[in-house]
Structures are given as C-alpha cells and as structure tokens.
Amino acid sequence: MKKVSMVAMGLLLAAAQVSAAEASDGTINFTGTIASQTCTVSVNGAGSTATVTLPKVAASVLNAAGTVAGNTRFTLALSDCSATTGDVYAYFEQGAGVNANGRLTNTGTATGVDLQLLDNANNAINAGSSEQSTAPATVALTDGAGTLSYSAQYYATAAAEAGTVASTVNYSINYL
C-alpha cells in the first residue's frame, strides 16, 4: 500500500509541474495568403524562363581577376500583378549556380570567368544575399504592370581561357 501511495504521490507532483510549465503568457496569430501567381513575368519578351545571350568577347579582354566585359541588358516585364500599385523587386536566389561571392558560376568550358548581375544603376547584385531585400532596386506598379531592368556581364576570376559560358539563376518577384 505504501508503494502505491508513493507512486501516486510522484505522479501527482509530476503532473502539477507539467501544467505549471505549460502556462501561457499570450498568443501570436499568423496570417498569410497563397496566390496562384502574383504577376505574369516576361524576360526580354520570352516568358518567365528565358535565355539572355551575352556577346562574344576575346579572352584577352578578361586578362585579370576583377575585369569585366560584355554588359548585356535584360528586362523583367511584369503584368497582371495581383497588386495594382506599390513597389516590387526581383530577388535573385541562392542556388547551385551561385557562388559564395553572389556571382553566377560558369558551367561552360571557359575558365577563369563567372557572370555578374547588375541592377539598373549598374551596381553589382550579390545573388542570394539579404542585401537585395534591405535596399532593393524597385519599380512602381501602375495598373498592375511594371518593368525591372538589369544586366549581366562576364566577370574574370583569373585570366580567362576561351570557351563557352553558361549559368542559371532563379528569381522571385517580391512586393514591398
């Protein structure tokens, strides 16, 4: 009998401590919206997935780390946006094609070269970095439409060797 009373007392004390530990001080509610698509995007008029072709440049132009060439403009035209007004920006995401410096890794046969993304003011974009969200290059939507302008260029990581250059980057459109 004494053993049963000791076990019962132990369970009672444990239950009392659990309920005291689970007392709440408040509630946080979360809300959000999942949209089928926020905007229709067209990269250089070719849909949301497109290819930007940079010009052919001589390897001798990219003869040292940090040299750049072949600046090529491209646009992300937004239409049918669920918000008709407000500011939007493109966020270039971290992924397998982005290196630790935020540049796009070359998967082609050329060596000593990455691709670098630039905003409309020709400032380097560090793909995958939170810098893109803290001071983004935005465009104002008018009647649910707007155009974001960017460019890409070759960026030498060393003296470039001739060959092909290819890379990819994913992006998302964000509202402010």
Question: Is 30 a domain residue?
Answer: no
Question: Is 9 a domain residue?
Answer: no
Cα–Cα distance list, 11 to 6, 18, 42, 52, 166 (Å): 9, 11, 65, 69, 66
Locate tokens 């004494």: which residue? 2
Question: Is 122 a domain residue?
Answer: yes
Question: Is 125 a domain residue?
Answer: yes
State which residues form the domain around 117: 40-175
Q: What is the pTM of this model?
A: 0.77
Total number of domains constituting the chain? 1
Number of other CB atoms surrounding residue 106 within 10 Å: 23
Task: Write out the chain's pLDDT in tens, 176 residues.
Answer: 455 455 555 545 555 555 445 677 776 777 676 665 578 998 998 888 889 999 999 999 999 999 999 999 999 999 998 777 788 899 999 988 999 999 999 999 999 999 999 999 999 999 999 888 887 888 999 998 999 999 999 999 999 999 999 999 999 988 88
- Report the C-alpha gap between 45 and 87 in whole angstroms: 21
Question: Is 77 a domain residue?
Answer: yes
Instruction: Return all residues near 176 (Cβ < 8 A) that are at least 6 apart.
Output: 86, 87, 88, 89, 136, 138
Question: Is 148 a domain residue?
Answer: yes
Q: Is 63 left (phi over 0), alpha (psi -120 to 50) or beta?
A: alpha
CATH of the domain at 141: 2.60.40.1090
Instruction: Return all residues near 98 (Cβ < 8 A) that are at least 6 apart.
Output: 92, 104, 105, 127, 128, 169
Question: Is 6 a domain residue?
Answer: no
Question: Is 120 a domain residue?
Answer: yes
